[in-house]
Structure 1
Amino acid sequence: MTPPERPAPVPELVRTLTALLAAESEAEAAAAGVEPGDLEQAVWLRLLERLDGGPGVPRSPADWLRRAVRAEARRARRTIVRELPYTAHEPVSDAEPEHAALVAERHRALRTAIARAPLHCRRLLTAMLSPTDPTYREIAGELGISQGSLGPMRSRCLGCLRRMLTAEVAVPEHRGKER
């Protein structure tokens, strides 16, 4: 009876998969509308979660990696369809008290949700919503993290915020839907 095959140590696994992950991410990123680096980070995070308390090292790491890249690309495409661009605050005239009340209520709900968010998300979202409109480089410097980490971190924090606000704010209809 031969002993079962032992999985490769993590550093060797990472070294082996780095080039393949870069190539797969580059191939899938354009169609998903995201940066290849964002896909890479998301897949590395998936692998770390799998190794730390999950099912462990995949039996076929290369096949798992290809499937993970495609799954992250699909997730990114779904997210992009639902994300709406941020628009600056519209000036509200005194003639529209109902509009002013609705805007104030939305801002209150947003501030309350941000206050309930985890600390790292609270700091990031507060910095991103700053009236000075800082660049990614300035935000990264302020938070003491790499600029490349901001995109994935922002995505996770907005997802967290979206889940918290779902119960408080009605979900808008899908864009492009005719009435």
Structure 2
Amino acid sequence: MARRPARSRAGEQLLAALGPLLAAEAAAEAHAAGLDPADLEQGVWLRLLERIATEGPPTRPAGWAAWLRAAVRAEARGERRRARREVPYDTADGGPAHPAAPEVERLAERADELRRVRAAVRRLPGRCPRVLLAMMSTKDATYREIAGELGISQGSLGPVRSRCLGCLRRMLMAEVAAPEPWGRER
């Protein structure tokens, strides 16, 4: 049998001495940081190999245990920082690349829809824009408060609102069903 070089044996001894400690430290730190323990462990092994390449094999593996703990924490911090900063360019299903994108997209669509409805309400004739915009207000006012603000009786606010909504509905239906140029429908 061929004898292994001393450097190989030192690496195996280091692996045997620090492996269980690294696995335990990586598992504890990874779960607290929301990372994969195996990825964290692999990153620390790379740091350890880089250190061995520059400083040589350790003379006392026990002295490296403190370094190992610090390296696990530093690697976890780095991974958390990268996870916050890095956003993939594309996903496999063609969906948004950022996990918050569906929420942001939904909020943007809702804001655009609300803007279009408010623009349509402003085009209504008579007192309908004032009535419907007061009803759409974010103040969450009662019928009594809205009627007082508009200067109409509380009892007539409901029928006026109903007529205004009917007018808005007819106007929007005409816009949606409007034919394209040259009489073609969509």
TM-score > 0.5, shorter chain as reference: no
Larger Rg: 2
Comparing both structures, which one devotes a greater share of its residues to helix? 2
Q: Given the two structures, how large is their TM-score scaled by the length of structure 2? A: 0.40
Q: Given the two structures, how large is their TM-score scaled by the length of structure 1? A: 0.42
Greater relative contact order structure (CA < 8 Å, 6+ sep) = 1
